[in-house]
Amino acid sequence: MEETIWKAVPAIYLTEEPIAVDEVIAAVNSENAGAVDVFIGTVRNSTKERKVVRLEFEAYDSMALREMEKLAQQVRERWPVEKIAIHHRKGVLQIGEVAVVIAVSTPHRKEAFAACQFAIDTLKQTVPIWKKEIFEDGQIWVAAHP
């Protein structure tokens, strides 16, 4: 009989492969939790009425992982978090694909919502990852210019 090989899912992860949302959720499973809040960021097909063809994400891997760890730590300090997992994609992403998944488990739902929202808002401000939008007639690094 074949043995089942359990793949350990890291809490903090950067990957060029598609993110398995169910694995991120499973990573925050806890018997002490009464709530799991999940944020899934996906690739939208337009920006300011301009049609987006695909996105390209670039990361400063070593620092991005460190900032994601710091962010997870900040979340743990502010809310009674059982577990938190943050997975971010990099490379080329097509419309509808998942770019980021954040899952937080807490004893009660209110904290899970708040912690998850803080996590995605802060990630967008501090983690060194860059998004390039590719349009049919050009491309732009998001937020680069005022």
Partner 1 sequence: MKLNILMFGITKDIIGQSKLAFELPDRSTVPDLIASLKAKYPALKDLSSMMIAVNNEYGQKDQTLQESDEVALIPPVSGG
Quote the CA–CA distance of 126 and 59 in Å, as a whole number: 12
133 has which bridge partners? 55, 140
Among 21, 41, 95, 134, binds partner 1 (CB under 8 A): 41
Among 19, 27, 116, 127, binds partner 1 (CB under 8 A): 127
98 has which bridge partners? 42
Quote the CA–CA distance of 66 and 15 in Å, as a whole number: 15
By CB under 8 A, which span of 1-9, 43-51, 73-81, 130-138 interacts with partner 1? Answer: 130-138
Among 66, 76, 87, 106, binds partner 1 (CB under 8 A): 66
Q: 105 and 38 in contact (C-beta within 8 Å)?
A: no
Q: Is 125 in the site for partner 1 (CB under 8 A)?
A: yes
Q: Is 57 in the site for partner 1 (CB under 8 A)?
A: yes
Tokens describing residue 26: 């499973």
Tokens describing residue 72: 């997870």
- Considering only residues 4 to 33 of the shown chain, the ones binding partner 1 according to CB under 8 A are none
Kindly state the number of chain residues that form the binding site for partner 1, as judged by CB under 8 A: 29
What is the nearest approach in angstroms of partner 1 to the Cβ of residue 118?
Answer: 13
Q: Is 98 in the site for partner 1 (CB under 8 A)?
A: no
Helix or strand run (H / E) with residue 141? strand 138-141
